[in-house]
A and B are shown apart, each in its own frame.
Chain A
Amino acid sequence: MSAHVGTFALMLGVTSSLLGIVVMARGITTGEARYLRLSQRFTGAILIAGVVAMGAMQYALHAHDYTIKYVANNVANGTPGLFTVTAAWSALEGSILLWILILGGFMAGTAIAFRKRVGDPLVAWATIVQYIVALFFFGLTVTVANPFALNSKFVIDGTGPNPLLQNHPLIAFHPPFLYAGYVGMTIPFSFAIAALVTGRFGEGWLADTRKASMIAWGFLTIGIVLGAWWSYEVLGWGGYWGWDPVENASLLPWLTATAFIHSVMVQERRAMLRVWNLSLIIATFSLTILGTFLTRSGVITSVHAFSESKIGPALLSFFGLIVVSGLGLIAWRGDRLRTPGRIDSVVSRESAFLMNNLLFAGFALVIFTGTVFPLLVESLQNKQLSVGSPYFATMTSPIGLGLLFLMAVAPVLPWRATSGEVLRDRLFVPLWAGAIAFVSAVVFSSAGFAGVCAYGLAAFALAGIVRNFVMAVRARISTQHENPVRALLNTVRGNPRRWGGLIVHVGVVLIAVAITASQGSAIKQELRLSRGQSGVVAGQRITYVGSSRSVTAQKSTLRSRFAIHDGDDNLGVYTPEISSYRNANNGIGTPSVHSGLLRDVYLQLAAAPDERDRVTVQVAVNPMILWLWLGGLVMAFGTCVCLTPKRSVVSALPVRVREDATV
């Protein structure tokens, strides 16, 4: 039953995408408004198709309808409710359903946002591009990745999800957020293509897609941070980032998207960098498809690659189509894309943005090369190899430092050109803060040269942001006689994009500090302890309290309890565990982490109690990891601030600060 409903919904999706394309093409060629209006309606049909297909899948999963192959492979009678819900995206076919659902949401949302501009060719072409993307993904579900394919065998109990995907509630959040980021990029991409086709590559399409780009970027950022969190807190691989190809695949579109949301400001303000912005968004969208290919097609071994499938060639072809048509359109419009704007001075906001873009593009190139090169060699020479993480670490740390430096300097640089006096005035406090942090880091921390620079630059950047806020708020207090809280609120309301952006930068500073600290001085050690025995790692006393076992229909779990003491401070009892799932031979460990502002104490069971009741536990003391997650939260908050509507508040800025505060 659900299989029929689901398949019907997917067919509805295919048909709606096709009809959308045909009707829209008719509307564009004839210029008749009724076709254009009618075509927009199909976005609603696509959303409905996505909702019904996902609903049918959810129903089938909960009803344990094992006549559907996907259900039989991804849920078992003993799978708990939450993981039955998330089973819908625990494997390839289902994850395409999630993709479609989110795409439908973005498309319908865009149609509503632009409902008053159905006659606009830019909107019409953008919608056609979205329909083509939708057609591709619906097409996958009815051909190579059919989630409602029937089971040829009679099954009494399903296999259940991959143990790693039913071990923690984060499976409910990380994939949807990341997908929302990936899929959301479809909207700015479609407008970029529309701008190229219609020849309206002025600043209009940027303004139209500013919100969509920010939303997608925000989701992608949160998705990546959640992925790091999952890897650290749940999978127990000890770290939050391993330069794993799938991690890199999510970082690549983030890097180009981050470059994009910065460089659009240059185009809006100075009408420069048109080709560059078009290229960046096309690159971003094609990298989301490439990322999906890398993670889903089975070319890379990982928790994300579920099985070999025929989806690989389809995704790779689609990637090729995007790149070729994108570059083709840019080449075709080449001459008309030239812009009159010039950079007047090296010391200016636009020049800083340009540097920022070059660094982000370089960053992406480094990651791309390191990720794709082994695959190329493997397919050409049939040899397996991997790129060691030192490559990524050595290459990215100077780029990261450069970006931190720009983040500190750029927001205080005026557009066009500046004088030494202005710079001295604005950079005086931040530079001192940076210098003090640098010197303190040299004296007190064990960080290397890059680490010490990172601390200095982080303080430099943070002080610059704080100075910006303080100046603006103070101006309001003195001229409008507002209380400090109201003054701060009104400041942000007056230009949410700028102040939200600066809040995002605070998050980046926190993350930069966390990365520097955690890489500098993590201590890892294994302890073998009898009951009641203690061991000390980096000043943390770990005492083995005891173990217990529990068995549910889903898994059997061994929990070992450890008391942690930091000197005389009792930090509580932590229970790392090892779970054995019915569908896997081997146990899956889940670490237990005491998180603190200065350090985490990270416990991971390495071996269950032996015949003499001794357990082996891996203890890691990781400095300042918590700041990563805090930084992620701050970035998410800043993105939300950016998205709030701009309110006109009485300007209270003296001329000098006003120049400072414009974007």
Chain B
Amino acid sequence: MNGLKARYIVMALVCIGAVAWMVTNLGSNLNYMESVSTAVHQRDANHTSPNRVGGVVKPHTIKKGATFGAIFQMTDGRTTVTARVQGTPPDLFADCIPVILNNTHWEGSTLVGDQVTVKHGSTYTSKQMKSNVDTALDATGCAPAAKG
């Protein structure tokens, strides 16, 4: 009986260990998405930048990079920054598109990310995201209805 008890204790410990490992691992891999305003706020406050920054591409501001990548103005409706992406943006990258800039850092006043993720059009986004995006689109003069 003692052997059985010991076995249960070992099993319980293994389970607790496994769950603890999972939670730690999850905690260290959470990427919060922040707005452009928050990113600028973080820069002014302590020279850091969020892992992911979400916003909308301001129309007629995209310049394809000399080698690869692109420079564009990114806005959340309140704040606009110059953003640079190092990798080539995906097909859907264009004016008025909601994007997420990943793994960002500041180079002066330019927000540099290694990769940009594009939402598949604002019709396919969650309610919260959609209202944020619509606000930003309104502010930039892109009518939300114009997009598919």
Contacts and interface: CB of A to CB of B under 8 A. Distances in A.
Partners in one complex: yes
Interface of A: 159, 162, 164, 236, 298-303, 305-308, 362, 365-366, 369-370, 373-374, 378, 382-388, 390-391, 394-395, 526, 528, 578, 583-589, 606-607, 616, 618
19 contacts: A298-B124, A302-B120, A303-B120, A308-B127, A383-B32, A384-B33, A384-B128, A385-B31, A385-B33, A386-B30, A386-B33, A387-B26, A388-B31, A528-B67, A528-B68, A584-B121, A586-B93, A589-B90, A616-B88
B76 to A, nearest CB: 12
A390 B18 contact: no
A588 B93 CA distance: 11
A384 B94 CA distance: 23
Contacts of B25: 391, 394-395
**Most chain-B CB neighbours within 10 Å: which of A308, A578, A589?**
A308
Given A395-B25, A583-B148, A607 B120 contact: no
B8 to A, nearest CB: 13
B64 A607 contact: yes
Interface residues of B, number: 36
Interface string B93-123: 1100100000000000000000000011101
Contact of A618 (B67, B88, B128): B88
B31 A585 contact: no
Contacts of B29: 387-388, 390-391
A369 B31 CA distance: 15
B16 interface: no
Interface of B: 18, 21-22, 25-26, 28-33, 52, 54, 64, 67-68, 88, 90-94, 97, 119-121, 123-130, 147-148
Contacts of A370: 26
A662 to B, nearest CB: 28
B32 A587 contact: no
A585 B26 contact: no
A92 to B, nearest CB: 12
A301 B120 contact: yes
A369 B25 CA distance: 11
B120 A164 contact: yes
Contacts of A373: 26
Nearest to A382: B128
B30 A388 contact: yes
Contacts of B92: 586, 588
B124 A306 contact: yes
B126 A387 contact: no
**Most chain-A CB neighbours within 10 Å: which of B25, B90, B147?**
B25
A585 B90 CA distance: 14
A586 B123 contact: no
Contacts of A382: 128
Contact of B22 (A378, A395, A585): A395
B32 A585 contact: no
B88 A607 contact: yes
B120 A298 contact: no
A378 B123 CA distance: 19
Given A303-B124, A373-B26, A395-B21, 17 more contacts: A162-B120, A298-B124, A301-B124, A306-B124, A365-B22, A366-B22, A369-B22, A383-B32, A384-B33, A384-B129, A388-B31, A391-B26, A391-B29, A528-B68, A578-B91, A584-B121, A586-B94
Nearest to B26: A391
A587 B119 CA distance: 14
A618 B52 CA distance: 24
A258 B10 CA distance: 27
Given A373-B26, A526-B68, A585-B147, A386 B31 contact: yes
B128 A301 contact: no
B4 to A, nearest CB: 11
Contact of B123 (A307, A366, A386): A307
A382 B52 CA distance: 16
Contact of B26 (A299, A301, A307, A369): A369
A306 B30 CA distance: 26
Given A385-B30, A385-B33, A391-B29, A300 B91 contact: no
B127 A298 contact: yes
Nearest to A394: B25
Contacts of B147: 585
A497 B124 CA distance: 43
B94 A585 contact: yes
A491 B126 CA distance: 54
Contact of A384 (B18, B21, B54, B93): B54
A289 B7 CA distance: 37
Contact of B91 (A387, A390, A589): A589
Nearest to A578: B91
Nearest to A298: B126
